[in-house]
Amino acid sequence: MATQIERSSATQTRLIEATISLLDELGYARLSETRICERAGVSRGALRHHFPSGRYDLLPVVVERLIAAEESRFLALGPLTPLERVHLMLHSTLTYPEHSTSVALLQIWMAARGDAKLYDGVGTIFDSVLPRLFGLDASAPSDPQTLALRFLLHGAALHRFNADYDIDHLRAALSWMLGMVEQPAGFAERYAAFTGQTVPEPT
């Protein structure tokens, strides 16, 4: 039989995963405690028990969970350059366009820009994204290619909420763009280790 601590941890995990999936499907503007609880299969009281201030306690945990998960995948590959990291993210988006960490993170980041209380909870965590995920120092200039590919990554994530979004068109556009950029040396092996898949062929 599960202990109280195990049940509590399982409830928190369901709430976090429900929040991530709703952000992915509906966007931040339609995120609500009611929807989160329905998706997680828990009561509103359970949400408030674990996260007393609702989204203001929940979303910082969501952001940290998403960043930490991606960070651990990068760390498992050993030393990586910023260019290698952004290539891995883009090719992962190409392979799994419906499951992009960037979508949830960018929505919360944009919401925090206009919500001081939310920013107080997530701002410091977002400040850690550059070193933890991209291997970059905010005080040092990024090389043009890495920066341009970061623009592409963020744009691909946000495009999902455009009226003309189509998953096949997104995949085709990413494939076309990546086909014009030289992959880092040894990238195929790193990508296989990162995703368990082979690098998609450009179209």
| pLDDT 10s digits, 100-123 | 677 888 889 999 999 999 999 999
Band of the pLDDT at 202, cuts 50, 70, 90? low
Q: What is the pLDDT of residue 17?
A: 93
In angstroms, rounded to a whole number, what is the distance separating the alpha carbons of residues 142 and 35?
Answer: 39
Determine the Cα–Cα distance for residues 190 and 68; give it in Å rounded to an integer.
Answer: 19
Amino acid, res. 179: G
